[in-house]
Amino acid sequence: MSAAQQQDEWRIQKRGRACSLCARAFRSEEEHTSGIAEVEGRFERRDVCAACWEAKPQLFSFWKTRMPKIEQRRLEDVQAMVEFFKKLVEKPSEEPSRRKVTYLMALLLARKRRVKLAGSKDGKLRVEKSWDGETVEIPDTPITDAELEDLRRQMESIFETEFAAPAAEAPPAEAS
Output DSSP code: residue 168: G
The pLDDT value given to residue 43: 85
Please provide the distance, in angstroms rounded to a whole number, between the alpha carbons at the two ends of the chain. 46
Phi-psi region of 91 (alpha: psi -120 to 50; beta: other; left: phi over 0): beta
Higher pLDDT, 171 or 161: 161
Residue 19, pLDDT > 90, answer yes
The pLDDT value given to residue 174: 44
Closest among 20, 34, 37 to 63, alpha carbons compared: 34
Report the run of H or E that residue 7 belongs to, with start and end.
helix 3-10
> Once rounded to an integer, what is the mean pLDDT over residues 38-67?
90
DSSP 101-166: HHHHHHHHHHHTTSEEEEEEETTEEEEEETTT--EEEEE-----HHHHHHHHHHHHHHHT-----G
The SS3 of residue 43 is strand
Instruction: Give yes or no for a contact between 67 and 49, defined as CB atoms under 8 angstroms apart.
Output: no
Helices 145-159, 73-90: crossing angle, 10 deg rounding: 120
- Residues 64-118: pLDDT tens digits? 999 988 765 555 578 888 888 999 999 888 888 889 989 988 988 998 889 999 9
Cβ-based neighbours of 57, under 8 Å, separated by 6 or more: 21, 35, 37, 46, 48
